[in-house]
Chain A
Amino acid sequence: MKKAVDIKGLNFSYSDNEILKNLSFSVPEREFFIIIGPNGSGKTTLMKIIAGILKPQKGSIQILDRPLKEYARKDLAKTIALVPQMAALDFPFTVTELVLMGRSPHLSMLGFEQEKDMEIAENAMVLTGVDHLAHRTLDQLSGGECQRVFIARAICQEPKIILLDEPTASLDLANQIKVMDLMDKLKKEIGFTVIVVSHDVNLAAMYGSHLLLLNAGIIASLGKPKDVLTRHILEDIYNCKLLVDESPVGTFPRVTLVPRSEGRGLEDGVNL
């Protein structure tokens, strides 16, 4: 099978500050790949490099068996779409306008949309369940709706790979599941390769087919959720007490935080 992303010997630093050190890994096509790790481990930087926003000092990156450097800007836009962390917009575009912007790599400079583009945008909105909001402006939407609109925009780009940076960070529980379920569905039904940067180890355990655990710019662990999310590895990296067992709802690990303050600890009889 083709590799969606293949990285070898990647180094990246901001002036003197080394962020990523000699990373090598690959992401197979049609994978739900989740990058986890503590704050400042280099997750977002890695994502920006794959998206072509940041240029690494060393290393080779292949996107679908072709060097990233050889992609023209618009070609890359037809291959990779990015859903960045949510930012407030002071300029109220309508949902349709924003989703249609995803068509721009396929259009001329002024981006005049044809009927076909309108159809693609509509389908994307139906797929993400925001079609009923088509004429609303973005400032009228809730966080969850907004995130799904931005995902619809990414789908509209008709990429092979979708990158999401902390897609669930500011969402409530129901919307976290909704967004992750949506990405899972897109992976299965359309065949996208989905790469997500996340803080949430439990969501990663539930949805990731493979996880990459990053710590201080190096790969701490890479593999299936049950191999990456072990108590030993996680306690070591996050430097806190944790309980890891199998989730009662499926065959994936569950990570539980253990409070440190007295009287809130484990009840007697629970053995870590």
Chain B
Amino acid sequence: MNHKTPFVLKRIMVVSLLLLLLLLITMLIGISMGSTGNGVKAVLQSLFGEGGTDSILDTIVWQIRFPRVLLAALVGATLSLGGLVFQALLRNPLAEPYILGISGGSAIGAIIGILAGLSRFPGVSFTAFLGSIATLVLLLIMSSGQSILKTHTLLLSGVMVNAFCGAIIMFLVSMTQNSRLHNIIFWLMGDLSMSDIRQVGILAATLLPCFIILFLYSHSMNLLLVGNEMAQTMGVNIRSVTTILLVTTSFMVSSTVCHCGLIGFVGLVMPHLLRLIIGSDHRVLVPACILGGGAYMVICDLLARLLPQQGEMPAGVITAMIGAPLFIYLLKRSKR
């Protein structure tokens, strides 16, 4: 044994610092690059208010790119963390909010909220939350009685819930004349472009407490992963911990869905990558997923902005193109 001193805290610090650095670098790149090609240096000057005479650049940086990059980081953090929590709770490495249909349920709730003319916060956020809880309950009922360890039953339930949600969304969209929904298709594929700093601020304020709660329960997630019975005999109150984790995660995911629609597979990529590098201890994985997931999403969004010759594509296209093949690979591997 090499480790004579407590090392978990140290590991959390080291991993978090490294990933924080990565996140900051990607955010800086995200802010620097765009259709008006100013260099990093000019952007840095604008960000820190030095020689700030270029008012067009100031506007672009502060009112368009900064909120957008911040939103991307928040969404990536939330979805990665959401994937991590669902994977631990369901003891299924393929679980993810989008695949399970939780995101789809939130989207139905959000659309109903928009159609009812509610404001984005708190009205639409609340209906989206109700939508996510409803799909979660549906999913748990569908897979109850069977072992949730059975990967394929759960996934099939999720796929069906997702397909059903998709149909309802299209039904609602087709039936309405509401002009607010005219670019719904774009939103459905994950759109980060409609971000203003106030909305992003509110989102950040609702997400941060969720991150903290989930970190506090990270060790309980470790114990749950080893098995419910063993966790219980080590002092974990299974029912209350499970409820807190599920509700917090659903709330968090639904909040991001009503800001930027359905972005899939993010919760698959980061948790798997990070688990490969830093192991299975959730006390390290939770902060790592928040920071690393943020960085990943910033990069995906940047690609979505830069790749098209004109305009841009929804960020969900990029995440699905990276995530779906990974999902297929993992599914193939799990069949062994």
Q: What is the interface of chain A, defined by CB distance below 8 A to chain B?
A: 48, 51-53, 73-74, 76-77, 80-82, 84, 87, 89-94, 96-98, 101-102, 104-105, 109-115, 117-118, 122, 131, 134, 157
Contacts and interface: CB of A to CB of B under 8 A. Distances in A.
A83 to B, nearest CB: 8
A98 B226 contact: yes
A135 to B, nearest CB: 9
B8 A112 contact: yes
B283 A110 contact: yes
B93 interface: yes
Contact of A82 (B6, B220, B233): B233
A185 B171 CA distance: 68
Contact of A84 (B8, B220, B230): B230
Interface stretch (B19-27, B125-133, B248-256, B274-282): B274-282
Contacts of A134: 1
Interface in B5-63: 5-6, 8-9
Given A51-B233, A80-B233, A93 B280 contact: yes
B140 interface: no
Contacts of B9: 112
B283 A111 contact: yes
A101 B275 contact: no
A157 B232 contact: no
15 contacts: A73-B235, A82-B229, A90-B93, A91-B93, A92-B279, A92-B280, A97-B279, A98-B226, A101-B222, A105-B235, A109-B216, A113-B6, A118-B5, A131-B1, A134-B1
A101 B283 contact: no
A104 B235 CA distance: 8
Contact of A104 (B1, B5, B93, B234): B234
A89 B91 CA distance: 9
B91 A90 contact: yes
B332 interface: no
Contacts of B236: 73, 104
A101 B226 contact: yes
Given A80-B233, A81-B233, A89 B225 contact: yes
B120 interface: no
Contacts of A53: 229, 232-233
Contact of A157 (B91, B93, B234): B234
Given A84-B229, A112-B9, A91 B280 contact: yes
A91 B233 contact: no
B162 interface: no
Contact of B6 (A76, A97, A112): A112
Given A80-B233, A93-B281, A110-B216, 16 more contacts: A73-B232, A73-B237, A74-B235, A81-B233, A84-B229, A90-B91, A90-B93, A91-B93, A91-B225, A93-B225, A97-B280, A104-B236, A110-B219, A111-B8, A113-B6, A118-B5
Contact of A111 (B219, B225, B229, B279): B219
5 closest Cβ contacts across the A-B interface? A77-B235, A111-B219, A74-B235, A82-B233, A105-B235
A51 B3 CA distance: 32
B314 to A, nearest CB: 32
Given A89-B225, A92-B280, A112-B8, A105 B1 contact: no
Residue of A81, A84, A91, A109 with most chain B CB atoms under a 10 A cut-off: A91
Contacts of B5: 115, 118
Contact of B3 (A48, A76, A118): A118
B111 interface: no
A95 B229 CA distance: 19
B319 interface: no
A72 to B, nearest CB: 8
Nearest to B282: A91
B8 A48 contact: no
Contacts of B222: 93, 97, 101, 111
Interface in B229-268: 229-230, 232-237
Contact of B220 (A74, A87, A109, A157): A109
A118 B3 CA distance: 8
B1 A122 contact: yes
A118 B93 contact: no
Interface string B190-222: 000000000000000000000000001111101
Given A93-B280, A97-B281, A52 B232 contact: yes
B92 interface: yes
A96 B4 CA distance: 12
A257 to B, nearest CB: 32
A157 B230 CA distance: 11
Contacts of B92: 90
A114 B234 CA distance: 18
A64 to B, nearest CB: 16
A73 B217 CA distance: 17
* B5, B237, B280: most-surrounded residue (chain A CB, <10 A): B280
Contacts of A122: 1
A117 B9 CA distance: 14
B227 A84 contact: yes
A76 B234 CA distance: 8
